[in-house]
Amino acid sequence: FARAVDARGSPTLDFTKTGYGRHDPDAQFRHLRAQYPGVVIEVSYTQKRKELAHVAEDYILGSDGDVRVVVGLDVEYRNSKKATLSVWRPDVVQNEAGEPELVAVQTTVNQILRDEEGNLSKNEKAGLCLQLRDFATEALVGTDGLLTDPICIPASTLYLYLEQAEQNVAMLKQNQGAVRETKPWVRKRRRQRTPPEELDDNREAKFQKIEEKAMAQAEKDDSSYKTDSDGE
**What does the pLDDT read at residue 193?**
72
pLDDT of residue 225: 46
45-84 residue pLDDT tens? 854 556 889 999 999 999 999 999 999 999 987 889 999 9
In a domain, 227, yes or no: no
Q: Give residue 47's pLDDT.
A: 47
Amino acid identity of 12? T
- Our count of domains for the chain comes to 1
DSSP code at position 58: H
134 belongs to a structural domain: yes
pLDDT value at position 226? Answer: 46
Domain assignment of residue 214, yes or no: no
Residue 10, domain extent: 2-174
Give domain status of residue 184, yes or no: no
pLDDT value at position 200?
Answer: 56
Report the distance separating Cα 168 and Cα 163, nearest Å: 9
Residues of the chain with pLDDT under 50: 47, 224-227, 229, 231-232
Residues 24/36, Cβ–Cβ less than 8 Å: no
Residues in CB range of 136: below 8 A, 6 or more apart: 1, 5, 30, 31, 33, 34, 38, 68
Closest CA to 85 of 126, 131, 124: 126
Burial class (CB in 10 A: 0-12, 13-18, 19+), 199: exposed
Tell whether 68 is covered by a domain: yes
What does residue 193 show for φ and ψ, rounded to 5 degrees? -85, 140
Parallel, antiparallel, or unpaired for β 13-14 and 5-7? unpaired
Residue 198 within a domain: no
In degrees and rounded to multiples of 5, residue 218 shows phi and psi of -65, -40
